[in-house]
Structure 1
Amino acid sequence: MTDAPLILLAAGGTGGHLFPAEALGVVLMKRGLRVRLVTDSRAMRYSGLFSADMIDMVPSETVRGRTPWALGRTGLVLGAGTAKALALMLRLKPAAVVGFGGYPTLPPLFAARALRIPTLIHDSNAVMGRANRLLSKGVTAIATSLPGVLDRDPALAAKTTTTGTPMRPAILAAAAVPFAPPAAEGPLRLLVVGGSQGARVMADIVPGAIEQLDPALLRRMVLTQQVRDEDMARVRAVYDRLELSCELAPFFSDLPARLAASQLVVSRSGAGTVAELGAIGRPSILVPLPGALDQDQFANAGVLADAGGAIRIAQGDFTPQRLAAEIAALAADPHKLGAMAQAARTVGRLDAAERLADMVTRVARI
């Protein structure tokens, strides 16, 4: 393996960027290639394919403001990161560098371009992220999860291939579990997740919605909810008073299996979440994160909603009353839940990692 070509995978340190990189890495390694991850310090929190000796960290900085001081700081940090990435490229001599979005991808992709190393970026969102937009004109090829993302730019569209979002083995295993609609008097398994930026609103709204449900439905409810430590006491107090069957935790390491076991999901609509809901095929109520410049989560949720696999609710309309009404209506119509699960499946691409690996080997000419 020491003589096998090396592919460097560059990703921001969040699950939405790291998980597709991990999924591609699994396939590339099965094909006999070596992989390493270039990222920031946040990636060390994630366990998976990349052990510590497979990770290289480079300095990076998000654009946090438009003042001369903020822009200057960002420029200095990214410059230092690019210098370190140049040294890394010269030492490792990768056959290609693949970026998955986030500002930590900028230094390694800038360095690869300067050294004329083949480059490819993958974007999971319905609207291309800002870091990938900065890189898009200079890379060798572009992969997107969804069709039509770059149709308005013919020059970029000409080097773009729709591959889908690469799925980790745990998601592929979960996708093999068929959807089972709730029986008339059987349990309704509700999963509520929010991610680092979304769990607070779920803690604010979901308990109040559950309180409004009919007692007969409450007795059937089996709830699993991601709750931040600082919100745990108040959320648990409501569910204890209702004598609700529930499991609450700040983080679920086995989330793919929990998605597969659920009959309805309430969630934010990050690119990774939408892709996993499509791959596994589960009905959902999606609440896009507001305030994003590109409204990417709103567009992501629209992909599932337009297919019939999800209900999209803007955060301004996400009230306990609205959520309770949606849950009650879906619980009363198991056939609709089944149809939504089937519709969500039409969005998923289970072969995305293989398709992206094919692109990588073409770009790297190996």
Structure 2
Amino acid sequence: MTDAPLIILAAGGTGGHLFPAEALGTELLKRGLRVRLVTDARAVRYSGLFTPEMTDVVPSETVRSRSPLSLAKTGVLLATGTMIAFNLMRRLKPAAVIGFGGYPTLPPLIAARLAGRPSIIHDANAVMGRANKFLSGRVTAIATSLPGVLDHAPALAAKTTVTGTPMRPAILSAAGMAFVPPDVDGALRLLVVGGSQGARVMADIVPPAIERLEAALWRRLVLVQQVRQEDMARVRAVYDRLKINADLQPFFSDLPARLASSHLVISRSGAGTVAELAAIGRPSILVPLPGAIDQDQFANAGVLQRVDGAIRIVQSDFTPDRLATEISSLAAAPLRLTTMATRARSAGTLDAAQRLADLVMKVAGI
């Protein structure tokens, strides 16, 4: 393996970026290639394919403010990271470098260009992120999860391949579980997840929404909810008072299996979440993160809404009354839940890792 071509995967330290990188890395290893991860310091808390021996941490920073001091600090960190990444390129001599979005991918992708190494960016969103927009004209090829992302830019569209979002093995395994609708009087399995930027609003809205449901539905609910530790006591108090069968945790390591066993998912609409809902095929109520410059989560949720695989609710309309109405309506309509599951699955791509690996090998000349 020491003589096998090396592929460097660059990803920010969040699951939305790391999971597709891990899925591609797994596929590339199957093909006899070597892989390394270049990431930021946040990734050290993740366990998975990339062991410490396979990981290089490169400093980076997100543009958080337009103030001169903040921009200067970001610029210094990105420049430092680029120098470190450039030395990595010269030492490791990768056959190609693939970035999965976010500002932590800027140093390694810029360094790849400076070192004359082929490069690819992958964008999982329905609207390309700012870091990938900056890199798009500087890389060898572009991969997107969804069609039409770059139709407005013919020069970029010409070097773009639609691959889908690579899925980690746990999601592919979960995708093999058929959706079984709830009986009209049987258990209704509800999964509520929020991610790093969404769990608070779920803690604020979901418990009072559950309280507004009819008592007969309380007895049917099997509720799994991601809750931040600081919100745990107040959320648990509501469900205990209502005698709801609830499993509350700050993080679920077995989330793919929980997705697959759910009848309805309430969630933010990050690119990874939407792709996994589509791959597994589960009905959902999606609440896009508000305030994003590109409104990427709103566009992501629209992918499933357009095929009737999800209900999209903007946060200003995401009230306890509205959520209670939607849950009650779906609980009484198992056939609609089944249709939503089927429609969501129709938007999924299960062979994305193979498609992206094909593109990597083509760009790398392997």
Normalising by structure 1, report the TM-score: 1.00
| Partner residue, 1:264 | 264
Shift of 1:306: 0.4
Alignment pair present for 1:17 and 2:22: no
Query: In the alignment, which residue of structure 1 is the partner of 2:194?
Result: 194
- Give the equivalent residue in structure 1 for 2:323: 323
Question: For structure 1, which segment, 64-73 or 13-22, has the greater mean C-alpha deviation from structure 2 after superposition?
Answer: 64-73
Give the SS at the match of 1:120.
Answer: strand
Counterparts of 1:153-192 in structure 2 under 5 Å?
A: 153-192=153-192
Q: Which residue identity does 2:99 align to in structure 1?
A: G
Partner of 1:41: 41
Deviation string 1:97-125 (CA, Å, 9 cap, x unpaired) is 00000111000000100111000000000
Please give the alpha-carbon distance, in whole angstroms, between the structure 1 residues aligned to 2:73 and 2:41: 18
* Residue 105, structure 1, aligned to residue 102, structure 2: no
| 1:179-215 Cα distance to aligned partner (Å, 9 max, x none) | 0000111100000000010000000000000001111
The amino acid across from 1:244 in the alignment is I
* Cα deviation, residue 279, structure 1: 0.1
Aligned positions of 1:144-159 closer than 5 A: 144-159=144-159
- Number of the residue aligned with 1:336: 336
What residue number does 2:143 align with?
143
Report the secondary structure of 2:146's partner residue.
coil
2:63 is matched with 63
Per the alignment, residue 253 of structure 2 pairs with 253
RMSD of aligned C-alpha atoms?
0.5
Q: Which amino acid aligns with 1:265?
A: V
Partner of 2:308: 308
1:117 aligned partner = 117
Per-residue deviation, residues 47-85 of structure 1 (Å, max 9, x unmatched): 110011110011101111112211111111111000000
What does residue 83 of structure 1 align with?
Answer: 83
Aligned counterparts of 2:29 and 2:45: Cα–Cα separation in 1: 22
Alignment of 1:224-235 (within 5 A): 224-235=224-235
Structure 2 match to 1:218: 218
Distance 1:193 1:313 in 2: 15
Whole-angstrom distance in 2 between the partners of 1:134 and 1:10 = 15
Could you list the structure 1 runs, at least 4 aligned residues long, displaced by more than 4 angstroms after superposition. Answer: none
Letter of the structure 2 residue corresponding to residue 82 of structure 1: T
Counterpart amino acid of residue 134 in structure 2 = L
How far apart, CA to CA, are the structure 1 residues paired with 2:290 and 2:71?
24
Deviations 1:302-344 (A, max 9, x none): 0000011000000000000000000000000000000000000
| C-alpha distance in structure 2 between counterparts of 1:67 and 1:223, whole Å | 44
Cα separation, 2, equivalents of 1:85 and 1:313: 41
User: In 2, Cα distance between the equivalents of 1:61 and 1:196?
Assistant: 18
Tell me the CA shift for residue 45 of structure 1.
Answer: 1.1
Residue equivalent to 2:352: 352
SS of the aligned residue for 1:36 comes to strand
Q: Distance in 1 between matches of 2:208 and 2:329?
A: 17
CA distance in 2, matches of 1:207, 1:5: 52
SS at match of 2:191: strand
Q: Following the alignment from structure 1 to structure 2, what is the Cα–Cα distance between the partners of residues 213 and 326?
A: 10
What is the CA–CA distance in structure 2 between the aligned matches of 1:65 and 1:323, rounded to whole Å?
34
- Aligned partners of 2:352, 2:254: CA distance in 1, in Å? 22
Residue number in structure 2 paired with 1:28 = 28
- Equivalent residue of 1:48, what SS? coil
CA–CA separation in structure 2 for the residues paired with 1:224 and 1:142: 37
Q: What residue ranges of structure 1 are gaps of 5+ in the alignment?
A: none
> C-alpha separation between the residues in 2 aligned to 1:138 and 1:179?
43
Secondary structure of 2:120's match? Answer: strand
Q: How far apart are the structure 2 equivalents of 1:343 and 1:31?
A: 33
Give the deviation of 1:140 after TM superposition.
Answer: 0.2
Q: How far apart, CA to CA, are the structure 2 residues paired with 1:52 and 1:185?
A: 50
User: Any gaps of 5 or more consecutive residues in structure 2?
Assistant: none
3-state SS of 1:272 partner = helix
**In structure 2, what is the Cα distance between the partners aligned to 1:249 and 1:111?**
40
> Within 1, Cα distance between the matches of 2:113 and 2:3?
23
Once the two structures are TM-superposed, the CA of residue 364 in structure 1 deviates from its matched residue by 0.2
Q: Residue 234 of structure 1: CA displacement?
A: 0.1
SS in 1 for 2:44: helix
Counterpart amino acid of residue 135 in structure 2 = L
* Aligned-pair CA distance for 1:171: 0.1
CA distance in 1, matches of 2:116, 2:52: 28
For each residue in 1:237-273, what CA deviation from the matched residue of structure 2 results, as whole angstroms up to 9, or x when unmatched? Answer: 0000000101000000000000000000000000000
